[in-house]
Amino acid sequence: MWPSWRSITRAAASYPAISGGATQSSLAPHYLITVDPSVPCGTVLPFTLEVASAQGNFSDAFSLTVGQLTPTGGTLVAETFDGTAWPPTDWAQTSTSGTAGNWARATATVHPSGSAPSGGAGLAYFNSFNAPNGNSARLYRTAGVAVPGSATGAGAAFSMYHDSGYGTDDDRVQVQVSTNGGSVWNDVAGGLLHRNDGTTGWSAHTVALPGSVIGQSDVRLGFNGISAYGNDCHLDEVRMVWSGAPSCASIQCLASPAEVSAPGSPRPLLFAKDAACASGYCLSFEKAAGAAGYNAYEGSLGTWFSHSDAEGNVCGAAATDLGNGRMRISLNPSGGNRYYLVTAFNAVAEGTAGGAGADAQRSCAP
């Protein structure tokens, strides 16, 4: 059963010929659905599209999301090592095992040599080419940052250069984090990156930081380089980021106007010879709530709903508000026995013509 809080105002649309592999927008009038304002922003609505074409009939499922979801989050730390000072502001290094390990800045990879930074003019590298196996040193932030309590996650994002030289030497970098001013550093699960990982060149990495950093006011990021006496480990474009639940914004749209002078209306459609109208003939009808304008259609009696090409049609008719719930337009009738139809429109769509058969013959744009 179709839920009551959503309805399809126009369930069908036509398309021009579409070449293989091409796309086309539907022809006006387009599909139109309405969703009750009580539906929460972000709700996913499922649909099924039924297609009839010269190539056969088929169906496909798709969904629409109520409102506009906007990701939330931000960057807490950004370092590209482009500045010539070493270490950069708010960064330092320290030995964590032995004394031969060292981090430094370069304008290209050192061992192996000659590859440009991932971005910008500089990079940071750990000297595992020169440091004996087991020596390690940490490059770390000396200034902490606050991770918002509203965050749903935080991470370290960076580029690392990989190469296959000295394939049996497992030079590596371990992402670390501190939440107590840098006196204690903890390895981040999933944050051990190997220089030789089977690829060659720069790769972008994102490592999730533990949930314990959320809401902390002094979170510091570190990279512990560990030597296996192979090639150097190179890093660039370091960022510390956080993300939150997406925000959702929705705008309540106008509903298409209701039927004009519907059956039982106290102000039915009236056509009269009247000098009050410039043409000498007045068509009056009920004022429709939310209408921006009106379309008037004329057709021949006996050929119902054939008004799409009638000469008497007046799209966007200039209507006079009579102030008593009625509107009036001047209409110059064609000869013969004629019928008249008035529809209201606004920025959303043209309102109903009052019958299923009538809708297909309307030709005025909303």
Express each pLDDT in 320-334 by its tens digit: 999 999 999 998 888
Residue with tokens 């984090």: 177
Tell me which amino acid residue 365 is.
Answer: A
What is the pLDDT, as a whole number, of residue 202? 98
What confidence category does residue 311 fall into, taking pLDDT thresholds of 50, 70 and 90? low
What is the pLDDT, as a whole number, of residue 304? 67
Residue with tokens 């944050």: 191
pTM comes to 0.62
pLDDT tens track for 252-262: 776 778 889 99
Tell me which amino acid residue 100 is.
Answer: A
3-state secondary structure of 307: helix
328: Cβ contacts below 8 Å, ≥ 6 apart: 276, 277, 282, 283, 284, 285, 319, 320, 322
In contact, 242 and 153? CB cutoff 8 Å: yes
What is the pLDDT, as a whole number, of residue 27? 87
- Bin 73: left if φ > 0, else alpha if -120 < ψ < 50, else beta: left
Stretch 294-310: mean pLDDT:
76
In contact, 356 and 302? CB cutoff 8 Å: no
Query: Higher confidence at residue 203 or residue 356?
Result: 203
Summary mean pLDDT of the chain = 91
What is the pLDDT, as a whole number, of residue 6? 59
Tell me the C-alpha to C-alpha distance, in Å, between residue 78 and each of 141, 238, 270: 11, 6, 72
Structure tokens at 256: 């298409």
What confidence category does residue 52 fall into, taking pLDDT thresholds of 50, 70 and 90? very high
Stretch 133-139: mean pLDDT:
98
In contact, 229 and 117? CB cutoff 8 Å: no
3-state secondary structure of 359: helix
d(CA 186, CA 192): 12
In contact, 201 and 114? CB cutoff 8 Å: no
Structure tokens at 221: 């990021």
In contact, 123 and 116? CB cutoff 8 Å: no
315, β-bridge pairs: none
In contact, 5 and 28? CB cutoff 8 Å: no
Which of the 8 DSSP states describes residue 70?
E
Residue with tokens 């410039």: 278
pLDDT-above-90 percentage for the chain = 66
What confidence category does residue 2 fall into, taking pLDDT thresholds of 50, 70 and 90? very low
What is the pLDDT, as a whole number, of residue 310? 59
d(CA 225, CA 232): 9
In contact, 342 and 293? CB cutoff 8 Å: no
Which of 89-93, 203-207, 287-291 has the least mean pLDDT? 287-291
Residue with tokens 């296959």: 164
Query: Higher confidence at residue 208 or residue 38?
Result: 208
What confidence category does residue 117 fall into, taking pLDDT thresholds of 50, 70 and 90? very high
